[in-house]
Amino acid sequence: MKLNELMKGYAIKPEYEGWVTNDDYVFAIDLEPNASTPTTESNYAVVEMGIAGLDAQLNPVTQDKQYIRAGQNTMKTGTQRSFAVTGDRYAGDEAQDFCLSHAMKYGTGNGVVTNYVYFNILNGKGEKGQCSIIVNSDGSGNAGESSAIDIEFKKIGVNPAEYTFTPVAPTSK
């Protein structure tokens, strides 16, 4: 499902204040990151079909130093953003099919890099950036059970930029 299709039924309220659940977050990826014409975020594929868990992590990188009189000092030197997606394999879902393609499972370097957006569906606020796709499992489980998947998306390059989802106005013909 494309991001613009998902968002048709939602009204973004930038002033939203209140409880938020994991279901209130959207993670969508660019299926054509190397296209000559960049894909607009509204055409990114939503990572959702068969997905039971989306674990969004901010993994701080720190450096510890010991000083003569001040003692132990820990300085944050960076952040490694990552997303872990787990769930059931759904053949025919464009996001899963892309991530589990031969090129993504066995590719390396820039060959497994794509663009992403991650935002709160209630207020539209989040981030956009680039990530490497790392497939840990493309189908596991026991006989008679659903085939399980495990995919990680790890930030590459510069830190993600702030992002606010803006609905795309329908075009008239």
pLDDT tens digits along 109-131: 999 999 999 999 999 999 999 99
Q: Is 97 within a domain?
A: yes
Tell me: pLDDT of 173 over 80: no
Q: Is the dihedral of CA 99, 102, 105, 106 positive or negative?
A: negative
Q: Is 170 within a domain?
A: no
Mean pLDDT of 93-100: 96
Global pTM reads: 0.90
The range of the structural domain enclosing residue 14 comes to 3-164
- For residue 139, what is the domain's CATH number? 2.40.30
Q: Is 20 within a domain?
A: yes
Q: Is 51 within a domain?
A: yes
Amino acid, single-letter form, for residue 64 = D
Q: Is 39 within a domain?
A: yes
Which pLDDT belongs to residue 17?
A: 95
